[in-house]
Structure 1
Amino acid sequence: MTSFFSERTAEYSILPVVVSYLQRRFGAAVPMYYWASREGNSVAREVHDGRHVRMLALFARRPKSVTKRTMSGKLNAELFEFADRAERHGVPTVAGFPVVRDLFELGEDFQTFWFPLTRSPAQEVFFQVDLTRPNPTPMSQNGRPIRTVELCDLGDTVSSAAVLSWKAAMAAISDARTSPRMGGAAFWGGSPYNPVYVLVPA
């Protein structure tokens, strides 16, 4: 399906919304993009020794096949597989989908669908959004609404996440990024689908 911007562009727009909310709720929240040779190295481990955090993994998704009346999107199977692995470490995962018709609407007050990815079947999920409705809802191919949550629900999820030491948090990320579809670890030790993380000090 065609689109008009990348997941990284979507990430730049939806991440500040999540970080700002979590900062207000918990007092501090830090976005992090993980590199094994940076955040995952021994220097970072020494610098952050004694730190404990709760984490949220966030995948940005992008609108596709946009018309004046509808847009569509997809949640890849790899995202659900990542979420299943992350959940074993007490790390929740969410996908954010900005409901915008063009790039510049990302600079306005736009709606975002937040899809919780835990306890979901590891298969691709295609959905469509009817833009003519006053309160659009993502609908699956069989016509059923797909579950989304609000920011306050994400806050509750983070509150219930496992408290991890820095070393355990980085190990959890490393394990969750290991992709069975790639026959083990992909380039730089992870899946080609990599989330951004929000760390909340515990």
Structure 2
Amino acid sequence: MRSSFISERSAEYILIPQFSEQLLLLSKKIIPIYHWVSREGSNLSKESLKNKPIKLVAFFARRPKVSFIDSEQIEVKFNSELFDKTEYLTKHGITVFSGVPLVTKLDDVRLGANCKWFNLQSTAIKSDEYVLIDKSGKVLDERTKNIREVTSNGIVEIINNKSAQLAWTTAVDIIRNMNQNLTNNKRWFFAGGYKPVYFIVDCSEHCRQ
């Protein structure tokens, strides 16, 4: 049985700087946030981005799971809840990505560690899904209907083609209402479930194509 040795939050510290670098190919200004209604969703924050067109990207960090230290194989689990949230977000023009650090022990968890990227989608069938990869990121086995591996260039292409330009006030409303609109929201309405990191892509000058 494979187990984790880091949390999603620890994985975020590795993934977010590298994912941000990909987004800088789209715009000179990328703003990563962990959304709270009373902070990033406040009137003060709304005023800061007033009249600026943006694209919003959601990102879920995943933990590597291994059978033993220095294993050649890494399992990545995608909980069904992620696909409920993906369905809601993509319906509102927000693209959803995920990533996992390609590490198999704690002392490999460092800035600059190699990472694997995924684009999340949503079909009518929503259940936990798994991808098995090696330490180079090659997919060995996938039991998925809602995930596709993606390169750095692919991230930019997907955002260019599928992310809608939004006003920040509209984006805040979409984020705030997400849990209330989930298909299976009873469990997560109170607990909150998995919260993505959001990236605001400032398109006030232009979003690079």
TM range (shorter): 0.7 to 0.9
Q: Does 1:87 align with 2:113?
A: no
Q: Residue 125 of structure 1 aligns with which residue?
A: 129
- Deviating more after overlay: 53-62 vs 147-156: 147-156
The amino acid that maps onto 1:165 is: A
Structure 2: unaligned runs, 5 residues or longer: 204-209
- Deviating more after overlay: 152-161 vs 122-131: 122-131
Q: Residue 60 of structure 2 aligns with which residue?
A: 59
Matches within 5 A, 1:40-79: 40-67=41-68, 68-79=71-82
User: Using a 3 Å threshold, how does the CA distance of structure 1 residues 14 and 166 change in structure 2: closer, same or farther?
Assistant: same
Once the two structures are superposed, what CA deviation does each residue of 1:14-71 show, in whole Å capped at 9, x if it has no partner? 1111112212442221101100111112222223221221011000000113432322
Q: Residue 206 of structure 2 aligns with which residue?
A: none
Question: 1:137: Cα distance to partner?
Answer: 1.3
Matches within 5 A, 1:173-188: 173-178=175-180, 179-183=182-186, 186-187=189-190
Equivalent position to 1:111, from 111, 114, 118: 114
Q: TM-score by structure 2 length? A: 0.83
Contact 2:179–2:185 (8 Å) recurs in 1: no
Counterpart-to-counterpart distance in 2, 1:135 and 1:39: 34
The amino acid that maps onto 1:137 is: V
Contact 1:66–1:101 (8 Å) recurs in 2: no
Q: Residue 14 of structure 1 aligns with which residue?
A: 15
Equivalent position to 2:164, from 134, 140, 162: 162
Contact 1:29–1:198 (8 Å) recurs in 2: yes
Counterpart-to-counterpart distance in 2, 1:54 and 1:35: 18
User: Using a 3 Å threshold, how does the CA distance of structure 1 residues 138 and 197 change in structure 2: closer, same or farther?
Assistant: farther
* Number of corresponding residues: 196
Counterpart-to-counterpart distance in 2, 1:82 and 1:28: 26
Structure 1: unaligned runs, 5 residues or longer: none
Please provide the CA RMSD for this pair.
2.4
- Deviating more after overlay: 172-181 vs 44-53: 172-181
Question: 1:138: Cα distance to partner?
Answer: 4.7
Question: 1:130: Cα distance to partner?
Answer: 3.9
Question: 1:184: Cα distance to partner?
Answer: 8.1
